[in-house]
């Protein structure tokens, strides 16, 4: 996979944007409500599958090495093995599949929102899956803790990410690299 200098710079810049938006959190037990899923969808809607997924990977690496970019200014590899670990890993899959859906369809509001809804559910699935195995929970308990309380907020964030990502993405000059 060959990246241009422009794509590298955009991925780094948008990784920082994810880090900034991730600081907006609402404590909600061991798994807070954050703008991380919004940020991931928003960034991928603008940058596309390849560059957007790389931006998410950079963001996750920044948090892993100790930069305080994860939810609420947290950092460190310990968060990837705690209750939120599955959600963090799910961001990579959210980014890839959200970008893939947009790439394979038309870049418009409908497809951007639908792709973000699918992506949000992918993250919730990975989060629930991680809760099931890391916490030795039965399936119903894992989905009750990791998915059910986050469906409505996830839908709202996906709607916002899809709409704003498409709105802004259509107006930025560099999106012609992704959306031809």
- What SS3 class is residue 2? coil
Q: How far apart are CA 90 and CA 97, in angstroms?
A: 11
The pLDDT of residue 177: 43
In CATH terms, the fold of domain 5-172 is Arp2/3 complex 21 kDa subunit ARPC3 (1.10.1760)
The pLDDT tens digits along the chain (180 residues) read 788 999 999 999 999 999 999 999 888 777 788 999 999 999 999 999 999 999 999 999 999 999 999 998 999 999 999 989 999 999 999 999 999 999 999 889 999 999 999 999 999 999 999 999 999 999 999 999 999 999 999 999 999 999 999 999 888 876 544 443
Question: In Å, what is the CA distance from 2 to each residue of 19, 54, 121, 179?
Answer: 25, 12, 30, 18
Instruction: Determine if the pTM surpasses 0.85.
Output: yes
Overall residue count recorded for the chain in this entry:
180
Count of Cβ atoms closer than 10 Å to residue 137 Cβ: 16
């Amino acid at each position: 996979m060959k990246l241009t200098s422009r794509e590298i710079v955009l991925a780094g810049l948008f990784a920082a944007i994810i880090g900034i938006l991730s600081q907006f959190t609402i404590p909600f037990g061991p798994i807070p409500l954050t703008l991380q899923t919004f940020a991931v969808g928003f960034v991928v809607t603008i940058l596309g599958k390849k560059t957007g997924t790389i931006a998410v990977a950079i963001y996750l690496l920044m948090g892993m090495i100790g930069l305080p970019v994860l939810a609420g200014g947290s950092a460190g590899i310990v968060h990837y093995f705690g209750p939120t670990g599955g959600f963090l890993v799910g961001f990579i899959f959210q980014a890839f599949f959200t970008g893939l859906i947009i790439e394979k369809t038309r870049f418009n509001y409908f497809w951007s929102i639908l792709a973000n809804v699918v992506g949000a559910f992918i993250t919730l699935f990975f989060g629930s899956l991680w809760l099931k195995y890391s916490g030795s929970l039965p399936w119903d308990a894992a989905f009750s803790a990791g998915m059910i309380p986050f469906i409505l907020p996830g839908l709202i964030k996906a709607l916002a990410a899809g709409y704003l990502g498409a709105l802004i993405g259509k107006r930025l000059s560099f999106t012609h690299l992704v959306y031809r």
